[in-house]
Structure 1
Amino acid sequence: MAFALVAGLSAFAGSAHASTTECKLPETGELGVEQLPTGSSVITCGAVGRVVVHDGAGVTVPEPGMAVSVDMLTVDGESHGFTLEVAADGKISYLLEGATADSSTAGYDVSESTTPDPQSDVPAEADTVTDSADSSTEAEVADVDAAASPSACSDGAYKTDDRKEYGTYNWYIGDGGLPAGLSKNDAIYVFMDALDNITDSYNNCGYSDSVGAKENYLATTSREASVNKSSQCTGQDGLSVWDAGDIKDTAVATTCSYTWSMPGVKNDLREADVRFNTYDKDFTNKPTSTCANRYFDVRSVGTHEAGHIFGLGHVGAGHENLTMYTDSFRCKTIARTLGKGEILALRSIY
């Protein structure tokens, strides 16, 4: 646990070094983490509302006492996302995902003073059997990597972020497009199923559900997810919205999460928006063995994004069979069910 705490603190520093010098920002345009480094003040710099980018992802700087996280599910197998936190005094810190990507193999977790033992009440489990819809006749590099990796039920790797839903995640269907040609009524049940896969610890490994996370669908809304065409988080509007539209072409989906800073425990989730990329990617709700690697399973992608909402981070190469793997596979439904790593991660938070 001491190692995890040290790793967590160093990860927030990322590659952006502390600075207390006078802030001189360009008047317009996006900012890099080097221009607004760890330790600088959003108050002194007048940075609230500016966009900060890192590794192809971007967030809008929030007010003091808030944090914003962007998580992109991509097709290149690389992590794209980071967290920018503004303390109550206006000082900035970062969690740069690339700085801790390899620590997932050890079960990296941001410190939580009230975290229970995630290994308690864990049964011996058998390897999961892949959904019959996962059997594609076309071989891919991804298929080879997944075959060489541990099965979902034997892979305990995970990484969690500094985020927790202490109450109930209340969400809306937005006034935009929807993936897989879903009607709004159908989308309610598809997205609800994806969220429930997380809150109910849905798995084929024999794990019981001991996670206290909760979700609740509220209504449709005329608002849209606060994610722009570059997969940047554009700011809070008070509603957690799921929809689809035009985002970065390499992204399958993007989640933007906003939390209250809570030193000593996980940050408190206040809002989380999810947008699927229907401009560059094709989705299906019923992948089959004849889909010929053309479609992304909307429920698998939705379950991955729901994992981010409830505090799960990405795991990288060597963990292709886990739901929170950085890449999204076409014609695969395996991410609909959680593996050992996701179960342990959720138990470490809830």
Structure 2
Amino acid sequence: MEGLVVTYDGTGIEIPEADTAVSIDMLAEDGTEHGFTLIVTSDGKVSYDLSGSNSQSPTAGEDRADVVSPRLTAGDLTEESDAPVSEPPAPDGLEVAEMDAASSPGECQDGAYSTLDRKEYGIYNWYLGDGAYPAGMTHIQALEYFESSIGRITASINNCGLTDQVPAKSHYAGTTTYEADISAHGTCTARDGKSTWDAGNLAAGAVASTCAWTWPNPVGKNDLREADVRFNTADFDFTRNPTSTCNGRYHDVLNTGTHEAGHIFGLGHVGSGHSNLTMYTKADRCEVRKRTLGKGDVMGLRSIY
């Protein structure tokens, strides 16, 4: 069966080798959650986990087993708070997005999160694809923005004064001619052994997608082996700086990249009512809220690491 493709709700996964799990997580403009996990056991038995899909319910992101209450530690009560990250002013191009954010708890008050069966136990070594990049970025610019996206997760960058207590690590390993193993139809294809970030065509409605391959771990979350990220530049325009004059046409590279990096290190989506968190499932144009983590995003990482 290896090599066959299983599809579900607009996404797909090519069946991998035995003793491997593959997950696809898609960030969509309409807020619906698309993605699932396919597991192949050591004896070749194939099973599926659809629990990460279809979070259209108003309570999505709250009623999953892994969504818990926030827990502060002594480190958060010291005077050693993270310095606020300098960001462009919040754009004013989408009234619906602003109303959604206003009706949700603030980023520093919302402690909801969900986690995936995924953890980087060592160092996430990632590569930069050699093709085109979102927002017409050069190689140097793409490296800067992708590396910053990953770093905002590994360093728990937030504006809530929550200290970094997460030992997750990453390392840029160079440019590769390999591509992210994600097809134009939204399918995780056979992995090539390199965790690659790039841009190209994806399934309609997908702003970006992450495919992750893991190995089973009997005493904890599955061990991450490879995770690829692709931005959908065939259907969407991206920008590096959505200022207050943003006209609702663009998606922010750093906003999107930070969300996708959250998936790599084990964070799942949170749904309606949590729109000020990085892992909120809906991608709004011109938004920058996902650039810095909210309370729930930080607590989710701490629960994993």
CA contact (8 A) 2:194 2:226 kept: yes
User: What is the one-letter code of the residue matched to 1:121?
Assistant: A
CA contact (8 A) 1:107 1:156 kept: no
Give 1:246's aligned residue: 201
Which whole-Å CA distance do the structure 1 matches of 2:196 and 2:180 have between them?
Answer: 5
Structure 2 unaligned segments of length 5 or more: list them: none
The SS at the match of 1:186 is helix
1:134 matches 2:90? yes
CA contact (8 A) 1:118 1:347 kept: no
The SS at the match of 2:53 is helix
Which whole-Å CA distance do the structure 2 matches of 1:189 and 1:261 have between them?
Answer: 33
Which whole-Å CA distance do the structure 2 matches of 1:349 and 1:106 have between them?
Answer: 19
Give 1:120's aligned residue: 73
CA contact (8 A) 2:60 2:271 kept: no
1:95 matches 2:49? yes
Give 1:105's aligned residue: 62
Distance 1:205 1:107, change over 3 A: farther
RMSD: 2.1
Report the Cα offset of residue 262 of structure 1. Answer: 1.4
TM-score normalised per structure 1: 0.80
Report the Cα offset of residue 99 of structure 1. Answer: 6.9
Relative contact order (C-alpha < 8 Å, sep 6+): which is higher?
Answer: 2
Distance 1:286 1:99, change over 3 A: closer
Which whole-Å CA distance do the structure 1 matches of 2:60 and 2:207 have between them?
Answer: 24
User: What is the one-letter code of the residue matched to 1:88?
Assistant: S
Structure 1 unaligned segments of length 5 or more: list them: 1-46, 111-116
Which whole-Å CA distance do the structure 1 matches of 2:200 and 2:233 have between them?
Answer: 5
Give 1:33's aligned residue: none
1:157 matches 2:106? no
Report the Cα offset of residue 109 of structure 1. Answer: 2.5
Report the Cα offset of residue 107 of structure 1. Answer: 6.8
User: What is the one-letter code of the residue matched to 1:274?
Assistant: V
User: What is the one-letter code of the residue matched to 1:120?
Assistant: T
- Seq. identity, %: 54
The SS at the match of 1:210 is coil
When you count helix as a share of all residues, which structure comes out higher? 1
For 1:1-350, what aligned pairs fall within 5 Å after superposition? Answer: 47-96=1-50, 97-98=52-53, 102=59, 104-105=61-62, 108-109=65-66, 119-121=72-74, 123=76, 131-136=87-92, 138-350=93-305
Highest CA radius of gyration, 1 or 2?
A: 1
When you count strand as a share of all residues, which structure comes out higher? 2
Number of residues paired by the alignment? 295
Which whole-Å CA distance do the structure 2 matches of 1:293 and 1:201 have between them?
Answer: 28
Q: Which runs of 4+ in 1 moved over 6 A?
A: none
Report the Cα offset of residue 186 of structure 1. Answer: 1.2
Which whole-Å CA distance do the structure 1 matches of 2:47 and 2:175 have between them?
Answer: 35
The SS at the match of 1:81 is strand
| 1:233-259 Cα deviation digits (max 9, x unpaired) | 001101000000011120000110000
Report the Cα offset of residue 108 of structure 1. Answer: 3.5
